Amino acid sequence: MSKIDNDVLLIIFDELKNDNGTLFTCALVNRQWCKMAIPILWKDPIKNQQFNEQLLDIIKYSLPYESKKLLLSHGIDITSNLQLRKKPLFDYIKYCKYLRFNKINEYANLMTKSIKETDYFLIKREIFKFYISKCSSIKFLDLNFTERYYQLSHDDLMKYQLLKFPGSINCFSELMELHCDSNIDSSIFYGFAEICKFIQKIYIYQLYDNPGLIELIKVQKNLKKFKYTASKFIKYKINEFTGIGKALENNSETLLHFKALDDLYGNCFIPGVFSKFKNLEKLILFRLCYCFQQYEFEEQLSFTSFPKLKVIHIQDASIYTVKKIIEKTDGNLIKIAIYDIEYKKDYDNKPFQDLIQSIYKNCPNLKFLRLEIKDEILEDFEKLLITCNQLEGLVIESCRWKMYNNYNIKNLLLLLAKSSPINLFKFKFYYYWDFDQISLNLFFENWRGRTPLKFYMVDTDKFLSIFENYKNEGIIERYEDIEDIYFKCFEW
């Protein structure tokens, strides 16, 4: 077998970074491949996996002699049930680029049967010290807590601040992604603000105006993505977000993604902050109906221009607001997802027609669309299908006020079979569409000769024989029951 250049192997293995099984197989080929694959495998060995007993063994074995001696002096023998008997082939921990606080909690809990809180803290401190001394340039840090460890973890962070351990500056100075809870003591955020200047992604839970967090956001030089979720344990008013909003304005040139999720308690940024985000490419705003100042917030959005916006997900906004946002996007939108649009039950069809027109007049590159449809506006919807000829996926909701609409799924399916652009073959149907065997058979027959369908709806089992028949004939590639109606709406 001819030897492949290391640089080539690195490119290949990096493409396999999310396929641990294949990457592990590559590591078994020969010594050269093993040396190249192991550092990639160990960047994040616990990603999306349940606890790995082998990893715990490696941590136990690799802890410095001084740490083991200290623990033994307190009656804690972490090596008593150690399965690993030989020295590992690699210094695995030094390859880790991801550090998750909750996982350290798990390690400490599994290393001792002691119920003494001091023993638990002591083990965790030594694990943190070990990771920080070994890992140069951690890229991802998660300081979020499970509810089980919530108060305990906050106390622990205060007692053992990560940045006071030897090697912490070398460990965290190249941090690129931070997940955190804004209830953490300000001094911890101030510490990170001194050494972390190039964080690209910040995801915050329990958001409020923590002074240290404000400073950390303010000093960033390349912040690209910001996401927050609502407070679970505390409730704040809108003016508590003023400091975070001002800090984000400092990053207005680099900020590309803004996501506000599950804002159950009415927290919201001051309305004017979005006018600064001229370079946004993705905007996700959920539960606007809970905002303390929803009217002012939507008014600001309707006047704000997002010329580079490519993706928008928006929930509980008025038709007028969504229409105005779309009209100010300079034709760059490729994904639009509109959830639970706000309108009066006695509205005529004009607001819906205006929204659809704003889409097909301003979104020539649109590839994915989630939209609420009334049966009375199918003529306008057909113009959208014809004009937005780059469409690949369509998520169709029936109008929520069913009593005010005539729902004829046959008309919609005939329209889709007749006027869908050539690239469109992915469909999802939500809410009250009343499918029947005749309409489905007719749609699938009219689809013959086109790209096989990916067809998702509620209660596919009612028409199982139809779906299986057309799948066997190659007209349907895949069919499924709908599950996630929000964040995965464009996944097929």
Give pLDDT, residue 404.
47
User: Once rounded to an integer, what is the mean pLDDT over residues 424-453?
Assistant: 92
Least confident among 28-37, 102-111, 202-211, 289-298: 289-298
User: Once rounded to an integer, what is the mean pLDDT over residues 166-171?
Assistant: 92
Give pLDDT, residue 399.
67
Tens of pLDDT, residue by residue over 182-228, are: 888 888 999 999 999 999 999 998 787 889 999 999 999 999 999 98
CB 334 within 8 A of CB 368: yes
109 burial via Cβ count (<10 Å: 0-12, 13-18, 19+): middle
Which of 463, 427, 470 shows the shortest CA–CA distance to 448? Answer: 470
User: Once rounded to an integer, what is the mean pLDDT over residues 400-409?
Assistant: 57
User: Once rounded to an integer, what is the mean pLDDT over residues 8-32?
Assistant: 81
Please determine, for residue 156, whether its predicted confidence score (pLDDT) is greater than 70: no
User: Once rounded to an integer, what is the mean pLDDT over residues 401-422?
Assistant: 79
Within 10 Å of residue 400's Cβ, how many Cβ atoms? 14
Read off the tokens for 333.
């939108």
Amino acid present at 5: D
d(CA 341, CA 372): 8
Tens of pLDDT, residue by residue over 257-313, are: 999 876 545 556 666 788 889 999 999 988 776 666 677 778 888 889 999 999 999
Q: Phi/psi of residue 488, each to 5°?
A: -110, 25
Read off the tokens for 80.
């008593």
d(CA 402, CA 386): 27
Domain spanning 324-492, CATH architecture: Alpha-Beta Horseshoe (3.80)
Give pLDDT, residue 375.
75
- Give CA 490 to chain center in angstroms: 13
d(CA 426, CA 226): 30
Which of 159, 160, 158, 156 shows the shortest CA–CA distance to 146? Answer: 156
Tens of pLDDT, residue by residue over 323-380, are: 999 999 999 999 999 988 876 655 567 888 999 999 999 999 999 999 988 778 889 9
* Torsion, Cα of 243, 245, 250, 251 (10° steps): 140
Q: Domain-by-domain residue ranges, the chain?
A: 1-41, 324-492
Give pLDDT, residue 406.
47
Instruction: Name the β-bridge partners of 455.
Output: 427, 479
User: Helices 101-111 & 53-62, crossing angle to 10 degrees?
Assistant: 80
Please determine, for residue 120, whether its predicted confidence score (pLDDT) is greater than 90: no
| Distances, alpha carbon 225 to alpha carbons 178, 180, 311, in Å | 10, 14, 13
CA angle at residue 362 from 359 to 367, to 5 degrees?
65
Reported pTM: 0.87
| Distances, alpha carbon 49 to alpha carbons 53, 93, 350, in Å | 11, 17, 50
Give pLDDT, residue 149.
45
User: First-to-last CA distance in the chain?
Assistant: 40
Residue with tokens 């002691």: 114
Q: Which of the two residues, 368 and 16, has the higher pLDDT score?
A: 368
Give pLDDT, residue 268.
64
